[in-house]
Chains A and B, each alone.
Chain A
Amino acid sequence: MTDIWAGLEAAFWLIVTLDSDLVEITLRSLQVSVTALVFASLIALPFGTWLAIRRFRYRRTAIAVLNALMGLPPVVVGLIVYLLLSRSGPFGVFGLLFTPTAMIIAQVIIITPLIASITHQAMRELWAEYHDLLISLNTTKRQRIMTLIWDGRRALLTAALAGFGRAIGEVGAIMIVGGNIDHATRVLTTAIALETGKGDFALALGLGFVLIALALAVNILIHSLSRTEQEGRW
């Protein structure tokens, strides 16, 4: 119990004094996870919607695979991305290993199936409602996808936030492909793992509370920007 109080105290002082290392790794955490979220959303939102309205032969299999991929183990993704980006791997010439770019690539792979799967689930129900209307208006496939995405934006926001949550709290993959290099690829989660390894539980826990506060702040910010959960506008 004393460790937890010490952690809260450490978190408090880190934030109050705006510790420069803390600011740096927090911004890098945000940079990596938000960038990964943008790329993953660009792929997953249209793909999930497309999957909801399009009928094709192996649709059921595709959906089952997508749902299974939600549980992709980050460590395995990290290892595969590492082997691909390593100097002796196929993409070694780009020198991307141990850079924030490598961390973003790994996170995009981890969160895209999650966002696509939640999107597909929400869009399927919306499509059942809109089906007759959109067909009778003789819309093109592209128009149908855009309409569904716009009208289902609340559900898509949830999908994106779920993806962000998985990305910002992830440690296994980015530890392998980022290397946890001080002032280069250290983020909140890898810093927590490092401080735990040093036996400095107070600082590790302090960083943990900062991470939780950050996730909370991002969620509240996005909700207030998109004006959800307000009176009269559910």
Chain B
Amino acid sequence: MIRLAVLMWLALGGVAFAETMRLAVTTSFHNSGLSDVLLPVIKAEIGLEVQLLVVGTGQALRLGRAGDVDAILVHSKAAEDAFVAEGFAPYRREIMYNDFVLIGPAHDPAQLAQATSARDALKRIAAAKAPFISRGDESGTHKKELVLWDAAALEVSAFDPWYKAVGAGMGASLNTASAMGAYILADRASWLNFGNKTGLALLYAGDPALFNQYAYLPVNAVKHPHVNAAVAQALEAWLVSQNAADLINGYSINGERLFSFNAQN
């Protein structure tokens, strides 16, 4: 009996027999629900068990730098280019895109619904001093938000207490925005898949400045010899395949498409 228990205990320790790899992804990608669709298919088709580490883009790049993951899937072009330039990844490969949207309280005190551009929308929030939740965690969404404030010629550090950096993932930040009736920048996929939309509504979208590109970066095996470059390659080949394209383009919530495949073959 005790021996059996010990055996079960050890078995649970989990020696996985399928080939595994570690992929750091952004919270926005995971919260969208797309990973739940893709991972089982990847396992079935190429026998690869992808272990996801769900973190912000900043932390994902850190994990890649330290060699703790085999590849990363993130959405912040400037940070990715720097990552490649430093030699931590041989290249970046664009996989798919969607867009960022501005979410806010349904009664819309800052009149975002009448905004003519993303820049104008942010100016309206600042003028109304309406509460605004910032991710504040160096994630791709956070970096995008800072670029947008900059484009609107507004200085984040000069904002009054209405600007709140919560330092949390996409879902947690949306929860905070919901509880406070605040505005927030989110990616469309996370917003559509979010379960606690109480009092919130999508108020502005459509400016080309809100484009959101996701890219895949295998970690450089020359710098970190222990990374499993072969499986990272296999996953990349699958991610740019027609099969992946169909699944990514076909993923929708309430009839709304979340991602558009745009990998170049």
Contact = CB atoms under 8 A, between A and B. Distances in A.
Give me the 10 closest cross-chain CB pairs, A-B, nearest first.
A199-B196, A197-B171, A199-B195, A87-B67, A88-B66, A181-B51, A200-B195, A179-B53, A86-B66, A199-B194
A196 B13 contact: no
B236 interface: no
Nearest to A101: B13
Contacts of B9: 31
Main SS class of interface, B: mixed
A100 B13 contact: yes
Given A31-B12, A98-B51, A100-B13, A201 B196 contact: yes
21 contacts: A31-B9, A31-B12, A86-B67, A87-B68, A87-B224, A88-B67, A92-B67, A98-B53, A181-B51, A183-B51, A184-B14, A184-B16, A194-B54, A197-B31, A197-B170, A197-B171, A197-B172, A198-B193, A198-B194, A199-B174, A199-B194
B67 A198 contact: no
A180 B178 CA distance: 25
A200 B175 CA distance: 10
Main SS class of interface, A: loop
A232 to B, nearest CB: 30
A212 interface: no
Nearest to A178: B53
Interface in A166-215: 179-184, 194, 196-201
A27 interface: yes
Interface of A: 27-28, 31, 86-89, 92, 95, 97-98, 100, 179-184, 194, 196-201
A81 to B, nearest CB: 13
A183 B36 CA distance: 13
B226 interface: yes
A28 B12 CA distance: 7
A95 B226 contact: yes
Contacts of B49: 183
B79 interface: no
B123 interface: no
A41 to B, nearest CB: 17
